[in-house]
Structure 1
């Protein structure tokens, strides 16, 4: 069995702490993203299990960590030299998923904490942190921390379900935000701003899960409304809800 600190040229690329140090130096932004995503996961857990910290503080720290992650990803996707004060740049900026979630953090910075708000950012942070953790473990050596590798494999195996759950949380959060605004748990403008966030997610080029989840919910609602056993008031309510959501959806030509 090759030693984990094998130098390059003697059984493959170097492994172990020296290799990890070199990897960190060569990939500072990616490693920073990994660390901040882990912080997002830990803060969300800290909000749910406030044993060692204040849950309200943990809630806002998770949002700040998500904002930092989104800003770094935007830095990677749009280099500073390409920034310009133009309509074209703004359109390109709003196409980026990272921009969507930067605004997401800003939207909820002044609301009463709620676990559903943290659900999408927790799921995205968990999925991406697990993926990069595998890179870190590979740098340390193939046999390092097999228990962690097993947990990472479980997360990656459920990646599709995790993305669908995040999309469902984005959608379900909208009526909750309306409810929160009516009862003064957030500002009256929050539902309107969140509506624009949802339209950006619906037209996302890189992540179709929000759009697909809307479609699945529509099919399920129409099937339930058409069921012979469905009470007439429930059927009318479901059809009205589907009609309202369809009218609020972005124009078809904006959807990739």
Structure 2
């Protein structure tokens, strides 16, 4: 009996350029995966699933702690979903990315992966290329890049943000591994903070950089300072700095029910270009 050749396969370093070319179709939407590809040493080991038609890469999916589809259609998602069910067994922490792709992919893998902890189906994806100062937005001049000697100050703020957003703490017991992640972010110059009285009161991270885009994540303001109009100038300063320091396009995505954050992002010039979704497992 002849075996049918599957249209999906795990990609390797020889596929790097083709994978980045696919991400570049919508660079702001696909920056998470583009950044992982650019950061990686030769990425074997079943991390990146590709879907091919006539020998050409037409869709892919990052498959690690996060599962992130890139430029997939219903046909490629069916094939990728079959591969995910066989190879991952529901071991991912989340699915995230463009809503149409994520929600359809989730429908295909969900029967074998169980019920999600949360499904956030409408997350506006926002983009700007304009420094907020050009729009007349006041910048918080205290915002700066975090320093290596401030990692232990940043850690509580990062853990508080993670727990509030995801629903469980980023570590139990030793903070060593989580601290190392924060330290690496700081070392790259990708964490911006406001520090007062030896305490971090605001922070934001650049989690992904690639293809001329920088994706901001982990935005946090100390709870006792919220509702005082401090978030807008701080976030405006972060966007301003990232546009100068890191990439000419800044992106992020936000939960639709977070009306205060959405209004703040609108004030600093960010506009919606698409809709994301996240499935937390």
Asked if these proteins are the same fold (TM beyond 0.5), I'd say no
TM-score (norm. length: structure 2)? 0.25
- Higher relative contact order structure (alpha carbons within 8 Å, sequence separation ≥ 6): 2
- Based on CA coordinates, which of the two structures has the bigger radius of gyration? 1
Higher strand share: 2
TM-score (norm. length: structure 1)? 0.27
